[in-house]
């Protein structure tokens, strides 16, 4: 299993930039927005980023605490389904340990599918209650 950890060092941020760029291209969201959200992990106590991969990050999850019981996820990128599962397990265990009951996630994706049907999709909001097992 690849190492999962919190983003804490500037050098890790530099190593993470290519992965952020991949997500930006795939989600068709401006790179500056993605970089801004991840860099909030260094300047705002409510924000954090989880990274996965050794020695260079290959996946990440970024978000922030809305309040004492809700967490807002902003970005998630991984090309490896096993890494995705590992990061989400790490995230959920951490959030449960600090009393978070609900994860809300801004799901950004390629809007071309919806455009074929006349819609413009900007974001989807997904919610998961952590105090209810599925």
pLDDT over 60 at 1, yes or no = no
Give residue 45's domain range: 4-129
Summarised one tens digit per residue, pLDDT across range 15-49 is 999 999 999 998 888 999 999 999 999 999 999 99
Summarised one tens digit per residue, pLDDT across range 91-123 is 999 999 999 999 888 766 666 766 776 777 766
Judge whether 134 lies within some domain. Answer: no
Give the domain CATH number at 74.
Answer: 3.40.630.30
pLDDT over 60 at 134, yes or no = no
Judge whether 104 lies within some domain. Answer: yes
Judge whether 34 lies within some domain. Answer: yes
Q: Are 102 and 127 in contact (CB under 8 A)?
A: yes
Q: How many CB atoms lie within 10 A of CB 104?
A: 15
């Amino acid at each position: 299993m690849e190492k999962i950890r919190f983003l804490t060092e500037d050098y890790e941020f530099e190593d993470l930039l290519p992965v952020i760029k991949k997500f930006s291209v795939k989600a068709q969201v401006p790179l500056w927005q993605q970089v801004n959200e991840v860099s909030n992990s260094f300047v705002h106590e409510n924000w954090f980023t989880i990274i996965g991969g050794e020695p260079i990050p290959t996946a990440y999850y970024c978000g922030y605490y809305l309040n004492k019981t809700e967490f807002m996820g902003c970005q998630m990128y991984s090309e490896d389904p096993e890494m995705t599962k590992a990061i989400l397990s790490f995230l959920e265990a951490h959030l449960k340990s600090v009393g978070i009951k609900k994860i809300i996630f801004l799901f950004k994706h390629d809007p071309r599918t919806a455009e074929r049907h006349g819609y413009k999709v900007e974001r989807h909001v997904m919610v998961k209650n952590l105090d209810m097992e599925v």
